[in-house]
Amino acid sequence: MDDIRLHIEVEINPTESEQKVKEAVENMFGPMNTQTKPARKGSLLTAEAKGEESLLKLHGLLVRERIRAAARTVLLHGLEEKSLHFWLNKQVAFAGHVSFSTEPTESPLGPIKVEIKSENPRQVIEYLTAY
């Protein structure tokens, strides 16, 4: 699974701390290089990573919180030919837990948008949710 490319986007509202939003992302994926740029309202934080190691922390959280079956359902819903998309609740991520959103509007402050590109996204789902 060396072909994994992870892309994350999250809006930072004017009332939010950029550092706390970055911490929410790192709680899910570990330390990452991030960039912040102005957006329509507030700013937009983006992060990129490559390789299986970029998913180690998320995998560990899914195991720890015993939500692999639920995660599999959400991830399969976001499956495309060479990628998968899903959203994480930003507030829950800041607290160090995983909560998937099925729609971006479910997260009141906006979600963490995650895109994983891979030649075999089903294999990525298997890795993240395997027992």
pLDDT of residue 31: 94
CA gap 100, 57 in Å, rounded: 15
Residue 91: per-residue pLDDT: 94
Per-residue pLDDT of the chain (131 residues; tens, 9 = 90+): 669 999 999 999 999 999 999 999 999 999 999 999 998 889 999 999 999 999 999 999 999 999 999 999 999 999 999 999 999 999 999 999 999 987 777 777 899 999 999 999 999 999 999 87
Tally of domains in the chain: 1
CATH number of the domain that 123 lies in?
A: 3.30.1440.10
Domain around 17: 5-129
